[in-house]
Structure 1
Amino acid sequence: MTDRVYNFGAGPAMLPEPVMRKIQEEWLNYRGMGVSIIEISHRADAFIEVLEEAKALFRELTDLPDNYRILFMHGGARMVFSALPLNLAGRCATRKCLYAETGNFAKVAAQEAQKFCQVKTVISSAAGGYDHIPELPLELIDQDAAYLHITGNNTIFGTRWNTFPETGKVPLIADMTSELLSRRIDYRRFGAVYAGLQKNLGPSGMAMVIIRDDLLGFADAVTPTLLDFTQADKDNSLTNTTNTFAVYVIKLVLEWLQEQGGVAAMEEINEAKAARLYQVIDDGDFYRGIARKDHRSIMNVSFLLNGDGLTAKFLQQAEDRGLYALKGYRSVGGVRASIYNPMPMVGVEKLATFMEEFAARHG
């Protein structure tokens, strides 16, 4: 078998190796049952136990208040883009929903919402190439709106919200697909938080939605059953056959995170990983970061090389060294190192050393 590489892909991203080994160990015989986890009914006691353990672990790791529901939804974060206005726009007669456009997926979320509600973009960093998070004072937030949507971490451009806006009585909704569980968050600040699984949680194709219970019960009559948050809560996310394997992997990832010391310990590790790469970028003029320094992500480090034709050579030589999937997003180019929770410091150090050696040879 080819040796495993360090996967810096934005998603599907790497999983912790102990989790992969646990999956392998239990694949044909889950807990002595003689069947695989993917062969067990979603209504079987064995799977319900997995589901409840996953929710309990998430609550414990995040100190999530009791008045928030945890839902497992189909279709990933892109499906939640549609589900949000269908479930929440009806809270207000205006059907106005506010969006902060701080990156590509923040923009796509607003475009999808326009099909179901009146969208108002309250801030945008598009003119600056999405290299920062604009200020969002309370006076820009219409208090007759159903919600304000932000994208906590912008995967492509490598920016993040370091502090979250005050919103008055308007519920704050956050897409945290690329940063959930990577840093400590006070969930009481939010009406809802959601994330696709494929970065810090598990395999692609599903999303977790964490929603405050007073925001349930407002779904439009035309809302498809499988996009109705209230129905999902009522049915314990089992309205139909859910992705049982994905929920199982989430549980294993959460157990692994607990073993690492929890979210606070992981945040410290993540900050150290990001600092090592930004140190190389800032030490000279060979590399140029895309995000402004005071808005940088600790999950996605995006940068350009100052030299014609060097990016392709950098990417090929990096892959030859076992540094996989570093190519920047197609609209930006350059290099993007996604260093989610499962990426170990040794992988980041290997990349940083390669970057230093490459700059020395070509700078």
Structure 2
Amino acid sequence: MKPVALITTKPGFEPKLKEELEKLPIKKKISWTPFRGILIAYSNNPYEFLNYIKENKDNLKFLLRLIPLELKCQTDIEEIKKNVSLLINEKKEYIKGKSFVVRCNRRGQHNFTSEELEKIIGKYILDNFKNLNLKVNLKDWDFKVNIEILQDKTYISIFNNDFNEFVIKENIERLKKLKRYNERPLNRSERKILELMKIYPDIFENLNCVVDIGSSPGGWVKVLSKKAKIVYAIDPGDLKVNAKNIVHIKKKAEYVDFKKEIDKEIDLITNDTNLYPEESILLTLKFAKYLKKDKYIIHTLKARKYRTIKEDLEKVISILNKHNNIKIYKIINLKANTKNELTIILKKT
């Protein structure tokens, strides 16, 4: 089976939608994604799956939108170009001489915006398929190159009148009136820290002061605030969590004056920020000098790309080797990590 559709619901109703879909008598697998309100369906054929959902829409009370998927690749502009090219070549007899638009729905953090990617791919198509006599039309298009990005994974499709996203409008109106979740559902960030707590519970015992670098929107802080007396959340972005023992230092970590703004011995340092690996580990080490002896650091290495993980890890280790009192305790790959991530646990000696 392969990914054939992204399926959306109102955040908080993912389990109900998953239960509905799993009851359908068609060969498929329904999986969670790291993003609220989005599930992914695996089956044999996106066209068949789309038609089956249309025929059985009356049995689906929590489905809002179904976005059919044709090709999957890594979130890399060159890889996206390559896969767009494959689809256009596959369908060139049907799209020759027609107008098109490129649309990108991007979830996660990247070094480009959705609009920038749309322009890049649109230009790439015009420059590389001149023989098809294609024209851009942003409003009245004949086909749409649809790009769905979920952090490090990208899904590409070509839509037309018969093969397009499917929306159940009555569900959208009905779910507006239903009460949302009582508590915000777990995001992938929270699942990472909870997974660590389960594997290494001793690290999280008797915590007085915790410093979390790159806190926004607050997944780690939310969990850590239930284990520590005080958590300093360092991030210029807003937090979506609130507790009496959370102190939000609303600035970049490199600008924090520790003596003025914290001035406490630290029991645990955590860093899940979206920065280049070398930059991120240097920020962690900035605060490590204030960490108590025999206490831990939890640091997420976010590689530039999946294929650079080994190289980026070696660079981080070379930096750590210059700090004799900071030792690598464990390097692990959590279930909640993306393919670009490794979790490094350090211990101060």
User: What TM-score comes out, normalization by structure 1 length?
Assistant: 0.29
- Compare the two structures and name the one with the higher helix fraction: 1
- Compare the two structures and name the one with the higher strand fraction: 2
Which of 1 and 2 has higher RCO (CA within 8 Å, sep 6+)? 1
User: What TM-score comes out, normalization by structure 2 length?
Assistant: 0.30
Q: State the structure with more CA Rg.
A: 2
